[in-house]
Each structure stands twice: as structure tokens, then as C-alpha cells.
Chains A and B, each alone.
Chain A
Amino acid sequence: DQQVKQNSPSLSVQEGRISILNCDYTNSMFDYFLWYKKYPAEGPTFLISISSIKDKNEDGRFTVFLNKSAKHLSLHIVPSQPGDSAVYFCAASIPPNTDKLIFGTGTRLQVFP
């Protein structure tokens, strides 16, 4: 049972345009969400997070939106750059008494010139 789903395995975007990566979850108990970026042969790198008490968090070119009623979050990258080409994972955390970190299967983003 995949509690965190990234239904698009890949995405291709032109440099300078917006990249939108999507993530859906099934467990309404999740209260903290994160996005990680992973280059080949390296470990994931934390990008941005959002708590369930917010619906938007912004950090430079990266913005995460959370729609709790739809159990959906998205990562917007504006403008996209070739260096953003990587695999992006969303992750969700359950409150401390059953604390786990659940990752999606990842979306491979390719930004072309």
C-alpha cells in the first residue's frame, strides 16, 4: 500500500519555464511534508518542507503547495535550470507516536536548454 504517490515517473521542461512536480498521499494523519532532490550516485538532498498548518512555503525558486482536502502537494520550480535535472522525492511524516517517514517513488525531472 503506497501511502505517498508520485504518479509521474518523469517530467521534461524547457529551461526558464516552470516545473511542477506532484505528490498525492492517502493518510490524513500525515502532518509534515518534505521534498528531496537526488543526483545519480549521491544521497538525497533536502529541498523544502511544509507543515500541515500551512498551505504554502517558499524558498527562492522553490515553492511547495499543500492542499489538505485533496491530500495533494506540489513543488513548483521557477525558473527551471539545467542543474535542476534530478530525481525528486516527496516524503511525509506521521506524528511522533507512530513516527515514520514515507517516501514517494520519485519523479525524474529533465530540464533542457
Chain B
Amino acid sequence: KAGVTQTPRYLIKTRGQQVTLSCSPISGHRSVSWYQQTPGQGLQFLFEYFSETQRNKGNFPGRFSGRQFSNSRSEMNVSTLELGDSALYLCASSLGGLHQPQHFGDGTRLSIL
């Protein structure tokens, strides 16, 4: 059974640009959630999508947005990039949501110059 796939693995952008990250969940999983990992901050929850609807949202500015498609694949978009957005962005999927163990992808490492 294929795991969670995130693309691209690495990305370099400059301040002010925007970026789109992609996540393909495990087949059959309807919940996709996104996290930001930075040194010293652990994993911080961005948002969760379930059946194409954003169901939960963390405390991030509106520059961070996402969507989920009918096949459960999800994208995360960050606009007007700032230096502080440099981080590892992780996507996770589960059958029913955040009350179940999450299956993580290997992440996208975003570097802002």
C-alpha cells in the first residue's frame, strides 16, 4: 500500500513569491492535515481537510491556505513568502480525522532566500 507522497521534496523561493505544495494521501484516506516543522517549535498544525472541506485550522496567517480535491489529494499554498516561512512542511492522512493516528509523508523542505 503506497504511503503519503509529498512533492516536491525540496524547494527554494525568494521573499514575496508564492508556493504550492502537493500531497497525495494513502488510498481511501479522506482526512489530510498539514504541519509546519521548525527547529525549536516542533510540529505546528496548519489545517485539516476532510471530503474537500476545511474542517480545522491552526493559528497561521491567511497567507497559508489549502484545498482538497475530490480524489482526496491536497495542496497547500503560501503567498507573499517571508524568511520565517522556511521550514519542513509535512502532510499527513488518516481515515477519519485528527482523532486517529496520522500517516505522514516525508515532507517538503522549503527554503526562502
Contact = CB atoms under 8 A, between A and B. Distances in A.
A105 interface: yes
A41 B42 contact: no
A42 B41 contact: no
A26 to B, nearest CB: 15
A49 B58 CA distance: 22
Interface in B31-86: 33, 35, 40-45, 48, 55-56, 58
Contacts, number: 58
A34 B101 CA distance: 7
Interface string A87-111: 0010101001011111111100000
A104 B42 contact: yes
A112 interface: no
B102 A101 contact: yes
A41 B43 CA distance: 14
7 A-B pairs closest in CB distance: A43-B104, A105-B42, A46-B101, A103-B43, A101-B98, A103-B42, A44-B104
